[in-house]
Amino acid sequence: MNIGFIIIMSGMALVTSWLAFIPLWLIGLFLNQKFNGNAKVQWRFVAISTFLVFPVPLPLTATLPVPNVVLLTFYGLGTLGDPSVIVELFSLYVSLWFYTLPSFLITGLLISKFAKSIFMKGRKMNYLVLMRHGQSQWNLENRFTGFHDIDLSDLGREEARAAGQRLKDAGIKFDQVFTSTLQRAYHTAEIALNECGQGDLFKTAIRHDDLRERDYGDLTGLNKDETRQKYGEEQVHIWRRSYDVQPPGGESLQDVVEKRVRPYYGADIKPLLDQGKNILVAAHGNSLRALLIIIGAETPETINKAEIPTGSPLVFELDHGKILKRYYLSEDKAA
């Protein structure tokens, strides 16, 4: 009777010990989701948390669930014939678990802490940095610029230098630079790279027409305030910020996304990001807004609210293409 009871109690203790590992697993899954965001790594953590904890020698795990089962069993065998064995076993079981809980939780947290280093060794987070050119002369004059090849203003050059200093302070080292064929974009890249000590990269920077600003067509060169007075505030807002409406003779943002930037990104930029390379794209407000849609940071419905300041690097920390963080390298800008 006593032996049978001991076997039953030991079996119950073993089952409850395994069930009690559910919180540890959940802690591990949560922490891996928070820090890694990788489902395969999470399930690897579940496996290793089990195999690390259960086979450890008894002296090192006196407060862990499986050794509790062993202690209960030996204690019960040593008290065969004692009518108080039920009370003793139950009391010991409860008291052991009372002292086990803090150690149990700490064990879960420690394994979670080191799970990343165990499974993520050799993996490298990479950066995609989007940088709108510094203020151009036509930005200063409040004109629609589009494809017109106007250079930076004095303030624009200062913004480019400040951007380079922020990149230097952030310690981001680039593998490849992409920019448009318009001088306000590639001059911004040149100034910023020189400022952050990576000037040699400008020699291999890739310039392409597909990264140019949106074509404003008949609006190019017009003063924005005067255009609002002529066509109305609402109409100009629709031309500038709607996703699929083209200004007279020009492109919509949808055109920029689907006809230019998406094909170019898929063929030239994304393969390097997939290899873990750090990439800088120095371009224009609308070609960068197109990229935000393409990488999944914005949608056609939310892009209207995305305003990219001149000369402020927008950083994306990536893990196998998944965006981990998004932020501007400036104290007064929020992404």
Q: Which of 103, 119, 135 is a domain's end point?
A: 119
Query: Do both 208 and 59 map to the same domain?
Result: no
Same domain, 139 and 109: no
pLDDT of residue 125: 85
Q: Is residue 333 part of a domain?
A: no
Catalytic residue ranges:
133, 213
* Domain match, 181 and 105 both: no
The pLDDT score that the predictor gives to residue 57 is 33
In a domain, 335, yes or no: no
Q: What is the rounded distance in angstroms from the CA atom of residue 310 to the CA atom of residue 1?
A: 82
Whether residue 141 is found in the same domain as residue 281: yes
> What gap in Å lies between CA 99 and CA 79, rounded to an integer?
23
Which residue stretches of the chain have pLDDT < 70? 1-124, 331-335
Which residues, other chains included, contact 328 with Cβ-Cβ below 8 Å and sequence gap of 6+? 309, 312, 313, 314, 315, 334, 335
Domain-ending residue, one of 119, 144, 161: 119
Supply the pLDDT for residue 182.
98
Q: Which of 84, 119, 154 is the last residue of a domain?
A: 119
Q: Is residue 334 part of a domain?
A: no
**Residue 181 token pair:** 């064929």
- Check residue 320 and give its pLDDT: 85
Domain span including residue 16: 2-119
Are both 14 and 75 inside the same structural domain? yes
Same domain, 99 and 164: no
Rounded to whole angstroms, the maximal C-alpha distance in the chain is 102
Residues 29 and 42 sit within 8 Å (Cβ to Cβ): yes
Residues 322 and 213 in one domain: yes
Task: Specify whether 187 is located in the same domain as 216.
Answer: yes
Does the residue 245 lie in any domain?
yes
Residues 249 and 289 placed together within one structural domain of the fold: yes
CB-count burial class (<10 Å; 0-12, 13-18, 19+) for 322? exposed
pLDDT at 9: 52
Domain count, the chain: 2
264-310 pLDDT, tens digit per residue, is 999 999 999 999 999 999 999 999 999 999 999 999 999 988 889 99
Residue 81 domain-assigned (yes or no): yes
